[in-house]
C-alpha cells in the first residue's frame, strides 16, 4: 500500500513545497507526481498537503509523515547498500562501437561512477563489423553505438543526433562546397566494409546504392579515413568526426543524421543495465539540451 517510491516522491514535494519543482528534481513530469501524491493521501486516508496558489504546504499529518519518512528512506538506502556491499562489486560490460566511446563515455562514466561506485565497469570495443557492439554476440551487457542496425531483440535510446558528411581530401573539387547531395554525386569509389557487416548499417554508411564498396574492407574508422587520404576512396562520417589534416567533411543534405545511442537487450536486461541506460540518457539529455 504505502511504498518507498511514493514516500520518496512525498519527501521531494514536502521539501520543494512545489509539485512542479519536485517533479523536476525527481526527473519525472508534474502530472504523475500530482497523481502519486493523491494516491498516497488516499492510501493513508489523510490530506498531506494544503494546495496554495504558490504551490503546496504540509498539513499536520504531512508534517508527521515527513518527520518519519526521511529516516525511513535513509534506513532503506543503508539496508540496500549493506546487501550490495556484502555481495561484492557487480560488473557491467559496456560495448563500444569503434570510437563512440571517446565521444560520450567520459561523461557517462563520470556520472555512472559517481552514482554507482560499487560497480566495476569493463569496456569492450568492437570494430565496424558489428554495430551492435557485441550485444548480439552476448559479449556485453549494454552498448554505446550508432544507429542504424538490425534491432532484432535490441532496444536503444538516442543520446545525440549528428548530421553526416562526406569525407574528402581538401584538394577534392567537392571540398569547397558548403554541402552536397549524395543523389547528385557522380559515381565514387566507396570504402568497403567487411563481409558479415550488418546490412542496414552498411547501407547507411556507404553512399553506394547497393551498400557495397571497393577495395579492402575497413575495420576501423581510422582505416576508412586513411583510405580516403591515400587511395581516394569516399566515406561518410559524422560531422563532428575528428579527421587528420588534409581531409575535410562536407555536409551531406540528403541523409538523416547519425544517431548515437545506448543500446541494450530488449529481454532479460538486469536492473544494472537499466540503471546504466538511465544514467546515460540523463547525462546526455543535459548535455544535449545545453545544460539543464
Nearer to DNA, 52 or 86 (CB): 52
Nearer to DNA, 147 or 249 (CB): 147
CB of 21 to DNA, least distance (A): 7
**Residue 245 binding target from DNA, a second copy, none, CB below 5 to 8 Å by type:** none
Is residue 34 a contact point for DNA (CB under 7 A)? yes
CB of 290 to DNA, least distance (A): 18
Distance CA 67, CA 15 (A): 12
First-to-final CA distance of the chain: 34
CB of 72 to DNA, least distance (A): 17
Is residue 153 a contact point for DNA (CB under 7 A)? no
Q: Choose the stretch contacting DNA; rule: CB under 7 A; options: 36-44, 142-150, 185-193, 243-251.
A: 36-44
Q: How many residues interact with DNA (rule CB under 7 A)? A: 23
User: Grid coordinates representing 224?
Assistant: 576508412
Is residue 19 a contact point for DNA (CB under 7 A)? yes
Binding residues for DNA restricted to 53-72, rule: CB under 7 A? 53-56
Q: How many CB atoms lie within 10 A of CB 248?
A: 18
Distance CA 279, CA 277 (A): 5
Nearer to DNA, 56 or 164 (CB): 56
Q: Which of residues 61, 139, 158, 182 is near a second copy by CB under 8 A? A: 61
**Residue 64 binding target from a second copy, DNA, none, CB below 5 to 8 Å by type:** a second copy
Binding residues for a second copy restricted to 9-48, rule: CB under 8 A? 42-47
Binding residues for a second copy restricted to 268-287, rule: CB under 8 A? 270-272
**Residue 53 binding target from a second copy, DNA, none, CB below 5 to 8 Å by type:** DNA
CB of 48 closer than 8 Å to CB of 10: yes
Q: Choose the stretch contacting DNA; rule: CB under 7 A; options: 28-36, 119-127, 184-192, 278-286.
A: 28-36
Q: Choose the stretch contacting DNA; rule: CB under 7 A; options: 14-22, 64-72, 193-201, 252-260.
A: 14-22
CB of 26 to DNA, least distance (A): 8
CB of 259 closer than 8 Å to CB of 205: no
Residues that bind a second copy (CB under 8 A): 1-5, 42-47, 60-61, 64-65, 68-69, 71-72, 75-76, 78-80, 82-84, 86-87, 90, 270-272
Amino acid at each position: 500500500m504505502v511504498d518507498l517510491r511514493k514516500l520518496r516522491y512525498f519527501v521531494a514535494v514536502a521539501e520543494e513545497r512545489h509539485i512542479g519543482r519536485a517533479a523536476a528534481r525527481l526527473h519525472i513530469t508534474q502530472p504523475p507526481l500530482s497523481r502519486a501524491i493523491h494516491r498516497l493521501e488516499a492510501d493513508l486516508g489523510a490530506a498531506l498537503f494544503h494546495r496554495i496558489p504558490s504551490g503546496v504546504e504540509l498539513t499536520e499529518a504531512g508534517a508527521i509523515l515527513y518527520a518519519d519518512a526521511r529516516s525511513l528512506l535513509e534506513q532503506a538506502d543503508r539496508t540496500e547498500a549493506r546487501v550490495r556491499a556484502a555481495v561484492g562489486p557487480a560488473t557491467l560490460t559496456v560495448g563500444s562501437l569503434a570510437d563512440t566511446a571517446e565521444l560520450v563515455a567520459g561523461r557517462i562514466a563520470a556520472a555512472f561512477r559517481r552514482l554507482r561506485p560499487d560497480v566495476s565497469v569493463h569496456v569492450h570495443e568492437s570494430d565496424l563489423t558489428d554495430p551492435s557492439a557485441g550485444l548480439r554476440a552476448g559479449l556485453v551487457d549494454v552498448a554505446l553505438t550508432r544507429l542504424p542496425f538490425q534491432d532484432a531483440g535490441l532496444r536503444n535510446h538516442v543520446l545525440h543526433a549528428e548530421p553526416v558528411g562526406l569525407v574528402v581530401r581538401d584538394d577534392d573539387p567537392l571540398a569547397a562546397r558548403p554541402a552536397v547531395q549524395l543523389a547528385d554525386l557522380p559515381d565514387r569509389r566507396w570504402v568497403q566494409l567487411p563481409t558479415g557487416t550488418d546490412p542496414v548499417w552498411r547501407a547507411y554508411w556507404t553512399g553506394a546504392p547497393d551498400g557495397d564498396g571497393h577495395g579492402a574492407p575497413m575495420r576501423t574508422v581510422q582505416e576508412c579515413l586513411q583510405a580516403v587520404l591515400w587511395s581516394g576512396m569516399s566515406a561518410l562520417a559524422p560531422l563532428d568526426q575528428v579527421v587528420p589534416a588534409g581531409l575535410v567533411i562536407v555536409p551531406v543534405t540528403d541523409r538523416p543524421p547519425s544517431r548515437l545511442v545506448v543500446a541494450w537487450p530488449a529481454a532479460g536486461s538486469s536492473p544494472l543495465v537499466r540503471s546504466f541506460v538511465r544514467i546515460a540518457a540523463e547525462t546526455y539529455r543535459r548535455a544535449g539540451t545545453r545544460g539543464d
